[in-house]
Structure 1
Amino acid sequence: MLHRPLSFFLLKNLLTPRICIRQRAVHQRAVHQRASSARTEHLYGASCVLAALQPGGKKLQAGHRKLRKLYVKDRGLGFVVVREDRKAAADGSGTLLARAIELARQREVAVVEVPASRLDALSDGRPNQGMVLAASPMDALQIRHLGHVDTELGDRISYPAVVTKRESFPISFSKRGGTRPFPIWLAIDQVVDPQNLGAVLRSAHFFDIDGVVLTEHETAPFSPTVSKASAGAMEAMELFVTGSLPKFLEESAEHGWHIYGTDIHSDRTILLSSYLRAKNQGAQGIPPLVHSPTILVLGSEGRGLRSPVSKMCHDHLIVGDDAEDSEDANPNSNEYRVDSLNPASAKAVDVFGVL
């Protein structure tokens, strides 16, 4: 039977509130990609440019870009109606280009008209919708592990993201009834394709996942290509990196976090087709999948989860339509295979959409 690994956005109905970090204690000892005032990247396309220009997006200073110039198509300022009525511009009644120009003016970013050929050169020939934003590269915060979550403190709780043995910064989480009593994070294990990483971040943002942790090495850098593939989600999210994902998972688990992997070869699997069938038939005593603070680990495109990462997971969530349980399947059989380990696969959305 065909098995498919779980993509993180299976948890559709559970991923509701977003991370809210009130304090701006920023630690940048080891970042995924270090921003330099001497370097400039060019974000292209309306989704990326508008997300980067939007004020008040990121709550941590790390990850903020220094915005330098907004390039727009020649004569754009003359032909695009830039409404004097700021409310009209803010509610989207103007064009995308007009909105970008308005936001740039609010942020005191210079707006420069250039020929279309210049925009194409800045965006490496990729579709840019008449706008390119020059900005500094993006950082990510380095964290060691997630701390204990005390869910008995009420609907609004705080837990630490630990940087070193002596340093941490608080993360706030708001419960939402019985549908979302615990925070859920996504860990990404060495996704090297920028299109796939962008698709992952786009879905993570759409489903309001509470945090994203990536491996510091052998992962696609936070580039304009990733930002474009994420439809601007990369510009709006707080992103974190870890030097050792197995250690991050191990220490987070020691502080009460449940780790779900997506390794189809593990002997600790939960077959979601069976789980859903039992739940839909009204079987008694079926526990919710998210019963504590949870981290869902997504593997790379080619090999899935690395063995040291897989071993740190408590259970593995497997997608399979009427497939047999993993302990009954033969890993060496031609019937026990994965058609794709692409993390951008949307197959799992159909399954978890009913939860």
Structure 2
Amino acid sequence: MLQSSSLRPTIFRIPRFVCLRARGNNRNKSITAAIERGRSSSDRDTDRGRSRNRETFAWGARAHSKPVRTGFARSGRDEPPKPYKTSPDSLLTYESAYTKDNDQFYSGRDRERRTLRAESLPYTTAASEFIYGYSSVLAALKANRRKLYKLYIHTRGSFHAGNDALIKRARSLGIQIEEVGDETLQSLDKASSGRPHNGFVLEASPLPVPPLTSLLSSRITSGRFEVALGSQSKEDIMVNGNQTEYMYKSAGWRHPLVLYVDGVLDEGNLGAIARSAYFLGADAIVTPTRSSAPWSHIALKASAGAAEALPIFKANHSTDFLGQSARAGWRIYASDAIPPGELPSLQATSSNAPQAASHSSVIYTQARSAKRLPVEHCPVESYPTILMMGAEGAGLRSSLLNLAHFKVGIRHGRDVDEIGVDSLNVSVAASLLCYEMLQKPKPRPPMNLLF
């Protein structure tokens, strides 16, 4: 039999984290209950920002000697507020109505944000695109390479000097014309992504960009060059066509010049290259399907309509395309930066009288040996030419440089680069190279045959 003295009370110690966890669970339950009643936990604890009444609120149990305030006494209601409901129509409206007077107070980013909620213009087909701006719309009408569906003209566009000529050309092509007012201006802004459209927006099919596998032969007499197309679906053929022969202006002496633009990811630069290439006389542009900016409405706007008239192609495999074109007789020139100080600058060569007569702002070298070619070297006089342009930072990829026959660089205007400006914008460089490569060579003086 056990003695009573041997029976001692057992004390169980509860860890502190268990107490805190239990207290936290109660806290979570109170927060959940407050949310269900339509109140936040901070409002319940502070009673909407007022000082806490220690006699009414306690961490353990509330004092029941005084009535508990519900938090809705300020509005005179004892029931919780009704949940806020958003009308679907409110998503399409704005706090201030749009007028032509307050349009000038919106910045470009605010206007783009404001047009995101506007209603879109109706699409004739799922693949339709919107061309905007007077120059781009007029170029699309003149080139007539796309399927043109509908032309929207805002009242501000009716005051344009070329409005009558544009409407006349659109009607001759059988295009539906719709004149709209300020009630449709937000939709026009949305179609142009907030960029200036001058009151002209044209719905059309996508820009024809057929795939190429190779460039083929060219003929100076007829001013034509041939291409080998890649595989296309029926839908792609409806947009791109299946043309394999293109005309160019040979002027009776030169072969075609085609730009291969690789790694240019800025759509504005891509459009600027197309604009310069068309203006200076280049005959086509080829871009890779990867590592290149798309021919979007931004690039088309930057080209000022040049992309509508200039043949544009895409290559699925860059190395295969360039290799097969080289085997077909095309010569490939790779644009490459010349380090400052490696060659005499323009200022140094201008002081040399014999060389100043035939000076050039570009330098041609052999791709393998870096041996300089004669100053009077003219690429398009002897062969059909491909000019490769790369990204501004990294330049051309090594896999493409290995396929080049020659390299071409732009001579610096300074002997020493003091601040690190060692190259040009890719669109500016393309302009200078196209200008120099398309210059007709001067007639060579007759050789002295007496000695």
TM class by shorter-chain length? Answer: 0.5 to 0.7
Counterpart of 2:378 in structure 1: which amino acid? L
The aligned residue for residue 282 of structure 2 is: 209
Contact 1:186 1:211 in 2 (8 A): yes
The aligned residue for residue 182 of structure 1 is: 255
CA deviations 1:89-119 (Å, max 9, x no partner) are xxxxx82222222222111111112224232
Counterpart of 1:306 in structure 2: which amino acid? R
Contact 2:259 2:286 in 1 (8 A): yes
Give 1:288's match in structure 2, choosing from 342, 363, 377.
377
User: Which protein is richer in helix relative to its size?
Assistant: 2
Task: Tell me the secondary structure at the aligned position of residue 425 of structure 2.
Answer: coil
The aligned residue for residue 170 of structure 1 is: 245
Give 1:98's match in structure 2, choosing from 153, 159, 164.
164
Structure-to-structure mapping, 1:149-160, within 5 angstroms: 149=218, 155-156=221-222, 158-160=224-226
**Count of residue pairs the alignment pairs up:** 282
CA deviations 1:197-238 (Å, max 9, x no partner) are 000000111012112111112222221111110001111222
> In angstroms, what is the RMSD of aligned CA positions?
3.8
* Greater displacement, 255-264 / 225-234: 255-264
The aligned residue for residue 409 of structure 2 is: 318
* Greater displacement, 254-263 / 335-344: 335-344
Contact 2:343 2:411 in 1 (8 A): no
Identity of aligned residues (%): 33
Counterpart of 1:260 in structure 2: which amino acid? Y
Distance 1:102 1:314, change over 3 A: same
Larger radius of gyration: 2
2:139 is the counterpart of 1:48: no
Contact 1:264 1:316 in 2 (8 A): no
Contact 2:152 2:177 in 1 (8 A): yes
The aligned residue for residue 400 of structure 2 is: 309
Distance 1:270 1:254, change over 3 A: farther
Structure-to-structure mapping, 1:307-346, within 5 angstroms: 307-321=398-412, 339-340=422-423, 342-345=425-428
Give 2:150's match in structure 1, choosing from 41, 65, 69.
69
User: Relative contact order (alpha carbons < 8 A, sep ≥ 6): 1 or 2 greater?
Assistant: 1
The aligned residue for residue 246 of structure 1 is: 319
Contact 1:72 1:112 in 2 (8 A): yes
Distance 1:346 1:315, change over 3 A: closer
CA deviations 1:225-284 (Å, max 9, x no partner) are 111100011112221111122222222111221111112379xx9989599977544699
The aligned residue for residue 334 of structure 2 is: 261
Counterpart of 1:71 in structure 2: which amino acid? Y
Task: Tell me the secondary structure at the aligned position of residue 272 of structure 2.
Answer: helix
CA deviations 1:271-325 (Å, max 9, x no partner) are 895999775446996542313211111112332111111111111111123678x
Distance 1:321 1:293, change over 3 A: same
Distance 1:204 1:48, change over 3 A: same
The aligned residue for residue 365 of structure 2 is: none
Q: CA deviation at 1:159?
A: 3.8
Q: TM-score, normalised by structure 2?
A: 0.54
Task: Tell me the secondary structure at the aligned position of residue 344 of structure 1.
Answer: helix
Q: Distance in 2 between matches of 1:215 and 1:341?
A: 22
Counterpart of 1:255 in structure 2: which amino acid? A
The aligned residue for residue 199 of structure 1 is: 272
Q: TM-score, normalised by structure 1?
A: 0.68
2:207 is the counterpart of 1:143: no
Q: Distance in 1 between matches of 2:309 and 2:246?
A: 17
Structure 1 unaligned spans of 5+: 1-35, 59-63, 81-93, 325-332
Q: CA deviation at 1:160?
A: 2.4
2:126 is the counterpart of 1:38: yes
Contact 1:69 1:111 in 2 (8 A): yes
Q: CA deviation at 1:75?
A: 7.9
Distance 1:150 1:229, change over 3 A: closer
Counterpart of 2:264 in structure 1: which amino acid? V
Counterpart of 2:244 in structure 1: which amino acid? F
Q: Distance in 1 between matches of 2:344 and 2:210?
A: 34
